[in-house]
Amino acid sequence: QVQLQESGPGLVKPSETLSLTCSVSGGSVSSASDYWSWIRQPPGKGLEWIGYIYYTGSTRYNPSLRSRVIISLDTSKNQFSLKLTSVTAADTAVYYCARSSHYTGPWGQGIMVTVSS
Amino acid sequence: QSVLTQPPSVSAAPGQKVTISCSGSSSNIASNYVSWYQQLPGTAPKLLIYDNNHRPSGIPDRFSGSKSGTSATLDITGLQTGDEADYYCGTWDSSLTTVVFGGGTKLTVL
């Protein structure tokens, strides 16, 4: 079955760029039936969808984050990545990667990213 | 403030049934599939119901979903203490062109 694992730094300084990678196993990011999403959850709060990427490289982003987000694919490594620029303390959250179609799942275990100097 | 509205909390005794509601609009729930997610404390969300009323393999039939108009419902029967978790509904919003989630409902099994 498909499994996903997030990786990247757990601490990012304000105004810098948050960069995370999601490694996919048991499935392919080149699959025409799936989209690959990033979702985040601030401490004690609900879920916020960040965006997704399709195997063609086509992307769709949450309008509230669109100006700061880039999601990309690396088919050779079966990975997809998230870059969030100009971060502030409000971007502190657990970041999840997941497979999407009509629904979202499975999810990675999540990675806590704190924005602090 | 979430696009989809869920009650912040629900509670019931072991063995009882609980219903969690998810209210939306014509641009989201009414025109797209609804899914439900269970988030146990300290863990990632897990898909519980997809396409309004389908259970992934391994999800007990104690969990069921339905949709009518601009609202969706998650029913959990035969409550167990292990069901204590946060539950989220989710769908696509055709106007916002984004995936939207409810604010989450905390289930307490008394």
Nearest-angstrom CA–CA distance, B37 and B89: 6
Looking at residue B39, its pLDDT comes to 98
pLDDT greater than 90 at residue A116: yes
Chain B residues whose beta carbon lies within 8 Å of the beta carbon of residue A106: 46-47
Q: Show the 3-state SS of chain A.
A: CCEEEEECCCEECCCCCEEEEEEEECCCCCCCCCEEEEEEECCCCCCEEEEEEECCCCEEECCCCHHHEEEEEECCCCEEEEEECCCCHHHCEEEEEEEECCCEEEECCCEEEEECC
pLDDT greater than 90 at residue A101: no
Chain A residues whose C-beta sits inside 8 Å of any chain B C-beta: 37, 39, 46-49, 52, 60, 62-63, 96, 100, 102-110
Q: Do A49 and B98 touch (CB under 8 A)?
A: yes
What phi and psi, each to the nearest 5 degrees, are found at residue A107? -110, 150
Looking at residue B1, its pLDDT comes to 78
Average pLDDT by consecutive 10-residue portion of chain B (110 residues)? 94 97 97 97 96 96 97 97 97 93 96
**Cβ-based neighbours of B78, under 8 Å, separated by 6 or more:** B15, B17, B62
Please provide the average confidence, as pLDDT, over all residues in chain B. 96
Q: How would you class B42 by CB atoms within 10 Å of its CB: exposed for 0-12, middle for 13-18, buried for 19 or more?
A: exposed
- Cα separations (Å) of A95 from A14, A22, A24, A38? 17, 10, 15, 7
Q: Which of B44, B51, B104 sits opposite A103 (nearest CB)?
A: B51
Looking at residue A70, its pLDDT comes to 98
Tokens found for residue A82:
């998230």
Nearest-angstrom CA–CA distance, B64 and B73: 8
3-state secondary structure of B24: coil
Indicate the pLDDT class of residue A2, thresholds 50, 70 and 90.
very high
* Average confidence (pLDDT) over A22-45: 95
Please provide the average confidence, as pLDDT, over all residues in chain A. 96
Nearest-angstrom CA–CA distance, A105 and A89: 28
- Cα separations (Å) of A21 from A36, A38, A55, A70, B29? 12, 10, 16, 12, 31
Nearest-angstrom CA–CA distance, B34 and B6: 13
Which residue reads 């899914």 in tokens?
B35
- A68-100 confidence digits (pLDDT tens): 999 999 999 999 999 999 999 999 999 999 999
Looking at residue A102, its pLDDT comes to 84
3-state secondary structure of B60: coil
